[in-house]
Structure 1
Amino acid sequence: MIATLILTLLLSVAIGVTAAVYGGWLDRVFQFLTVLGAAVPAFIIAVGLVFAFAIALPLFPATGYVALSDDPAAWLHSIALPVIALLIGSVASAATQIRGAVLDVQGRDFVRTLRARGIPERPLLFRHVLRSASGPGLTVLSLQTIALLGGAVFVEQIFALPGIGQLANTSAQQGDVPIVMGIVLVTIVFVLVVNLLGDLANAALNPKARTR
Structure 2
Amino acid sequence: MFTLRACSLILVSVAVFVLGRPAEEQMTEKDFTNLVFTVEKFDQILKAYSEYKQFMPSYVLEPLDNITDEQKTQAVQMVNDYHAGKFEPKNYDEYIAIMKKSYPALAGPYETMYNKYKEQVAKLGPKGQEYCNGLEAQMYTDASPDRVVWACHIFNNAKSAVSGAKALLQDDSEAAKIEEAFPEAVKLLNSKKFEAYSIIVNNLKPLDCVKDREQVFNTIKLMDKQSVLTNN
* TM-score normalised to structure 1 length: 0.24
Query: Which structure has the higher relative contact order (CA within 8 Å, separation 6+)?
Result: 2
* TM-score normalised to structure 2 length: 0.23
Find the structure with the greater CA-based Rg: 1
